[in-house]
Amino acid sequence: MKFEEVIKYFESIKNDKRSEFTKRIIPNCGSTFGLLTNDVRSYAKKNLDNYEEIINFPVHIYYEIDLLIGIVIALQKDMALKIELLDKFSYKINNWAVCDLIVSHIKCKEEEKVRLFNYAYNLLDDIFEYRARLGYVLILSIFSSEEYIDLISEKILNSNIERKYYVKMAIAWYIQIIYLMNSQKVEKILINPNLDSFIFQKAISKICESKKVSLEEKEKLKKIKTEKSKTLS
């Protein structure tokens, strides 16, 4: 499979209006054909056997090519191969959409969970922004159950790494998700002085946006926000 062949096909189904929208919502996406994720997924499924050629396509030129590489990796059936290819490609990820959409295509059997969790956990303190985000999005998408809360919370609160914007956003997203499972544990995370102030603010905002959270709980969280803001000022 040649890079030029894929470009020619994507060019034949491009959508210029959607292309402008994609550029607005995805920083660093490069050029784009304005394709739907479903378009790229369908093409990836038909060409999984060509993964060795696809993973070597040039990146950061076309958004859909980066996404194609990511989805082809995510859809590989062998978990060991999937993690190996993903780890190499993760250094090339340069926007939140490719990162998150890769994760959304990863399926994990029960017997594969330990291996995938260990991989994700080891990414959480990575100095590369989108490798660390990849780790957190894997955790919140596949491992956002109570059994992992204490371990991930410790990592959130006790890391010495200076986290970048899209990593902080992923952590706030994770906190929102686990709040619905165990609000008491999350409240302890929120009041912990080690929690980054940006993550604290974003997490509370995200929790309060949820329709699953009662008005009483939202008022309680607003009080926590007010009290902690006083100590930070």
pLDDT, tens only, 11-48:
999 999 999 999 999 999 999 999 999 999 999 999 99
Mean pLDDT in residue range 178-188: 95
Tell whether the torsion through CA atoms of 119, 124, 125 and 129 is positive or negative.
Answer: positive
Instruction: Specify the DSSP element, H or E, that contains 48.
Output: none
| C-alpha to C-alpha distance for 115 and 131, rounded to whole angstroms | 17
What is the CB neighbour count within 10 angstroms for residue 150? 11
> What DSSP letter does each residue of 67-126 carry, written as one string?
HHHHHHHHT-S-HHHHHHHHHHHHTT--SHHHHHHHHHT----GGGHHHHHHHHHHHTT-
What is the CB neighbour count within 10 angstroms for residue 157? 15
Question: What are the residues whose beta carbons fall under 8 Å from the beta carbon of 71, sequence distance 6 or more?
Answer: 40, 41, 44, 101, 102, 105
| C-alpha to C-alpha distance for 174 and 44, rounded to whole angstroms | 29
Contact between 135 and 124 (Cβ < 8 Å): yes
What pLDDT shows up at residue 43? 98
Mean pLDDT in residue range 168-188: 96
pLDDT at 231 over 80: no
Per-residue pLDDT band for 1 (boundaries 50, 70, 90) equals confident
| C-alpha to C-alpha distance for 100 and 180, rounded to whole angstroms | 21
pLDDT, tens only, 120-169:
999 999 999 999 999 999 999 999 999 999 999 999 999 988 999 999 99
pLDDT, tens only, 73-99:
999 999 999 999 999 999 999 999 999
Reported for 98-102, long-range contacts at CB under 8 A and 24+ positions apart, including other chains, are 98/63, 98/66, 98/67, 98/70, 98/130, 99/130, 99/133, 99/134, 99/137, 99/166, 100/137, 101/37, 101/67, 101/70, 101/71, 102/70, 102/71, 102/73, 102/74, 102/134
Neighbour-count burial for 163-195, b at 16+ CB within 10 Å, e otherwise: beebbbbbbbbbbbbbbeeebeebeebbeeeeb
pLDDT at 188 over 90: yes
What pLDDT shows up at residue 229? 76
What pLDDT shows up at residue 232? 62
What pLDDT shows up at residue 230? 73
